[in-house]
């Protein structure tokens, strides 16, 4: 799964979607509603952003994953998104979890900033106990004492979650590191450790991205990475 942190202009979204597909990605990510730390940062295009993703899907065939922030937007997400993302900051927003649990739309649940494995799995239970069993778990780095990178990728979470649950485990090396140059090595480690998928921020012009440009890789690097990941997968007896 790859694409921009935030959906920006329509042409940029379509351009990135084409490059993601060309590079070997199979799902387009893009935030339309952004949970920003500062209220003065770009908050996303909202509904218009979802429409841009739908257009990019029409042109590339790539399904869409996008983050929901407010249960009042459920209808629009059910209509326009293929996978609903619950972000790290909402991992314990129990009303939101129950809401997405009431439908069968696949959910990508991200681990909370300081959530334990047990808390993470119990949040997945909130969704599944409402009937929606289409849940993917996403390890996206946790808060530690280390400040050199944005978060610390908890690679142990991959085998641990796979042992404790039957759910697919996705790794997000972009938010885990906050640094574009760490995305490739962390992705390789994730595949070697057994991750079922990756969520990677890709932008055609990271320097000008409205959100998280510093952790976004360019499409050419994404393509290279996918080629390398195939070799890693093969080396550990897996397929990509």
Q: Can you give the binding site for ligand PEP, defined by CB under 6 A? A: 5, 31, 35, 67, 87-89, 110, 140, 172, 175
Query: Distance between CA atoms of 2 and 16, rounded to whole angstroms?
Result: 9
Of 21 and 140, CB closest to ligand PEP: 140
Partner from Mn ion, ligand PEP, none contacting 73, C-beta within 5 to 8 A by type: none
Partner from ligand PEP, Mn ion, none contacting 35, C-beta within 5 to 8 A by type: ligand PEP
Report the nearest approach of ligand PEP to the CB of residue 210 (Å). Answer: 12
Of 214 and 238, CB closest to ligand PEP: 214
Distance between start and end Cα atoms, the chain: 13
Query: Distance between CA atoms of 112 and 71, rounded to whole angstroms?
Result: 18
Partner from ligand PEP, Mn ion, none contacting 150, C-beta within 5 to 8 A by type: none
Nearest to 32 by CA among 61, 60, 3, 59: 3
Of 31 and 219, CB closest to ligand PEP: 31
Q: Which residues pair with 107 in a beta bridge?
A: 84, 135
Nearest to 113 by CA among 143, 78, 144: 143
Question: Residue 79 CB: number of other CB atoms within 10 A?
Answer: 10
Partner from Mn ion, ligand PEP, none contacting 61, C-beta within 5 to 8 A by type: none
Q: Which residue is nearest to ligand PEP (CB)?
A: 87
């Amino acid at each position: 799964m790859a694409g921009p942190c935030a959906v920006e202009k329509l042409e940029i979204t379509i351009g990135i979607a084409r490059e993601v597909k060309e590079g070997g990605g199979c799902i387009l990510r893009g935030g339309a509603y952004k949970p920003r730390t500062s209220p003065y940062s770009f908050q996303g295009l909202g509904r218009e952003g979802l429409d841009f993703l739908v257009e990019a899907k029409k042109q590339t065939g790539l399904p869409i994953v996008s983050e929901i922030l407010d249960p009042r937007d459920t209808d629009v997400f059910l209509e326009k998104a293929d996978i609903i993302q619950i972000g790290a900051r909402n991992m314990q927003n129990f009303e939101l979890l129950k809401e997405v649990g009431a439908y069968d739309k696949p959910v990508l649940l991200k681990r909370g900033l300081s959530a334990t494995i047990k808390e993470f799995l119990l949040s997945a239970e909130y969704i599944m106990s409402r009937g929606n069993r289409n849940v993917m778990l996403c390890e996206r780095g946790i808060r530690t004492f280390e400040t050199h990178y944005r978060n610390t990728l908890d690679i142990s979470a991959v085998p641990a979650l796979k042992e404790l649950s039957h759910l697919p485990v996705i790794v997000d090396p972009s938010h885990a590191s906050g640094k574009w140059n760490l995305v490739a090595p962390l992705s390789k480690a994730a595949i070697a450790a057994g991750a079922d998928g990756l969520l990677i921020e890709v932008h055609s012009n990271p320097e000008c991205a409205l959100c998280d440009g510093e952790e976004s890789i360019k499409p050419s690097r994404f393509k290279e990475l996918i080629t390398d990941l195939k070799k890693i997968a093969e080396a550990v007896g897996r397929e990509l």
